[in-house]
Amino acid sequence: MKQQTIKVRTQRAAKTALTVAGSVAGMVGALFAGTVQAQSDYPNKPIAMIVNFAAGGATDVAGRTLAEYLRDKLGQPVVVENLTGAGTSIGTARVARAPKDGYTILFSTASTFTITPHIQPSLNINLADFQAIARVGSVPLALSTRKDFPAASLNEFIAAAKARPKGVSSGTAGAGSIHDILNRYTFKRLGIESVPIHYRGESAALPDLMSGQTDAQFVSVAAAAQQLQTGAIRIIATASPKRAASLPNVPTFAELGYPDIFGDSWQIVMLPAGTAAPIGARLSTAIADVMRMPAFVERLAKVGAEIPPPATPADIVKLLADETKRWGVVVTENKITAN
């Protein structure tokens, strides 16, 4: 009798265990199916694009232009939110902490990851918190001088600058900006003494160059080309791999014997690390399609941005790693801070 009772209890326990296991498996399966469904339906609601630069600048305009074209490709609105401050870290952190569902994306420049961590390490911007999706636009920079600076070529610029007891005054778009970093590297490489003068952005620095208050400045090619036409500034060379389309008669530093002087402000789209691969692939494909559209290319050109060569997420990560190392050396050797 006792053995029969034990047998019945054992059978009941086994049935209960199977029922619980079946329920758990069902829930896991439903959860997995729901996740797969969510990924395959992506996107099925509006996407937030966080731009960690101020409204109206080249990066903001490029981001809004991309958002506009993505809306048609993805079938959902892409809503731009400018979240600036603390060396771009506020907007960057917002995306790093966002759900890994593809509905919060970052539109930024490479300098957020390659320069800012060197000059403001306390901001804790970490590339490992993100996964690269696309490299969208590249804004080449050109070494420009005031219109009456006694030089029309790089050799003449070097000679004139070295002849000045105090060197040259050079405007920048802000301490630690790509303009500032490239500026310091270039003048040191050319053996020129320079006194950097920091402004709140390129647009604030350019008027002083045009009025002759400063001697030289790295300027985005769009702004440089516009002012060149009016005769307000002179352009010595571009720090880009090839001649800028808007400045076809201006040589690159590489052409002039300085292939190591290069630098541009390039824009990237990032997702929080750990976002499902199908979501990243969907977004990457849509952006690639947009970048092949002539109308999009033309609109980016108006803010001085050129479409860079195609790059996979792995390519972008390598580019970021290489530039992080390169600019880190420049920051250390020149003792550059954000102040």
CATH number at residue 64: 3.40.190.150
C-alpha span between 147 and 233 (Å, rounded)? 4
Where a domain ends, among 196, 219, 238?
A: 238
The CATH number of the domain holding residue 212 is 3.40.190.10
* 134 and 270 within one domain: yes
Domain contains 108? yes
Domain contains 37? no
Q: What is the pLDDT of residues 256-314, one digit of tens each?
A: 999 999 888 889 999 999 999 999 999 999 999 999 999 999 998 887 788 888 899 99
What is the pLDDT at residue 51?
Answer: 93
**Could you tell me which of 262, 283, 274, 328 has the C-alpha nearest to residue 107?**
283
* 148 and 221 within one domain: yes
**Could you tell me which of 228, 233, 264 has the C-alpha nearest to residue 249?**
228
User: Taking the C-alpha atoms of 118, 123, 127 and 129 in order, what is their torsion angle to the nearest 10 degrees?
Assistant: 170
* Angle at the Cα of 49 from the Cα atoms of 203 and 62, rounded to 5 degrees: 35
* 157 and 220 within one domain: yes
Q: Which residues pair with 270 in a beta bridge?
A: 106, 132
Extract the runs of DSSP E, i.e. beta strands, from 14-100: 47-51, 78-82
* 164 and 122 within one domain: no
C-alpha span between 206 and 217 (Å, rounded)? 8
What is the pLDDT at residue 15?
Answer: 53
Domain contains 244? no
Domain contains 12? no
* 309 and 232 within one domain: no
Domain contains 30? no
The single-letter DSSP state of residue 306 is: B
Where a domain ends, among 187, 219, 238?
A: 238
Domain contains 65? yes
In the chain, how many domains are there? 2
C-alpha distance across the termini of the chain, in Å? 87
Domain contains 254? no
Q: What is the pLDDT of residues 145-180, one digit of tens each?
A: 999 999 999 999 999 999 998 899 999 887 778 888
Domain contains 76? yes
Identify which has the larger pLDDT, 72 or 23.
72
Q: Whole domain around residue 181: which residue ranges? A: 140-238
- Mean pLDDT along residues 62-81: 96
